[in-house]
Amino acid sequence: MRAEPRSSARYASPTEYAPEVPFASTGPHGHRSRMREKLLARGPDSLADYELLEMLLFFAMPKGDTKPLAKALINRFGSFANVLAAPQQTLMDTRGLGVHSVSALKLVQASALRLARAEVMERPVLNNWTVLIDYLTAVMAREKIEQFRVLFLDTRNRLLADEAQARGTVNHTPVYPREVVKRALDLQATALILVHNHPSGDPTPSRADIEMTQEVKAAAHVLGIVLHDHVIIGNGRHLSFRREGLL
């Protein structure tokens, strides 16, 4: 039995990929139809995480029992969300996955992020802080290296653009205040929110984080652009510079 190939239209059966931690399983006969009926009759909340993943893999693997592979992925990565957010190459190197299944996983991840982003863009950001943090957590909390993003806002504090300005190492991202302000002028933004993640999971700002924030604030102020906040996203936690009195 071979894993799903990466360069042909053939599909591999995932049944040989048993999870590292055993789950009870049932036979595959009629299973896909029963799962679809369960989804449509009782709604997606009736499905466990591994069942959602199992059904997602249906579309990439038209034949075979995808339950063992789904459970193996949950066991390896820890959750449904972590499977979707895993680096593409890591997924491609995972036994049982290939170009079709990885494409399906990344398509669902992208769809979820766009839906979350739409929720942010439809409302003034500062009045919907919880929605904003949920979105930023979805985008950045599981990143393995630091990523620096800027939210560009209009005069009503609605989101004009959310752009990744730089990616760095596990603990450092180079940020150039002049480039941030130049981009704000290009977009005719009147306010900014800086955001970056700490892959360590601890959102405590470093001295470099604090100094960089002050540099961006000063450069933006000269041109009449307001820096509302700098948010650091950790693992299940976040820190706001403004709320901590650092801005």
Strand 159-167 and strand 191-197: the pairing is: unpaired
> Measured between alpha carbons, how far is residue 237 from residues 62, 113, 201 in Å?
39, 19, 8
Coil, helix or strand at residue 125: helix
* Contact between residue 170 and residue 155 where contact means Cβ atoms under 8 Å apart: no
Q: Which two tokens stand for residue 209?
A: 């984080």
Predicted pLDDT of residue 173? 59
Name the DSSP letter for residue 241: T
CA separation for the pair 31, 99 (Å, rounded): 24
Predicted pLDDT of residue 48? 87
Q: Whole-prediction pTM value?
A: 0.67
CA separation for the pair 120, 128 (Å, rounded): 8
> Measured between alpha carbons, how far is residue 47 from residues 44, 148, 238 in Å?
6, 35, 30
Nearest to 28 by CA among 58, 60, 72: 58
Coil, helix or strand at residue 174: coil
* Contact between residue 193 and residue 213 where contact means Cβ atoms under 8 Å apart: no
Instruction: Write out residues in the chain with pLDDT < 70, as ranges.
Output: 1-29, 122, 167-173
Which amino acid, 120? V
CA separation for the pair 247, 245 (Å, rounded): 6
Predicted pLDDT of residue 39? 82
Instruction: Please tell me the number of Cα atoms within 13 Å of 159 on its side-chain side.
Output: 24
Predicted pLDDT of residue 40? 83
CA separation for the pair 77, 58 (Å, rounded): 20
Q: Which uninterrupted H or E stretch holds 52?
A: helix 49-60
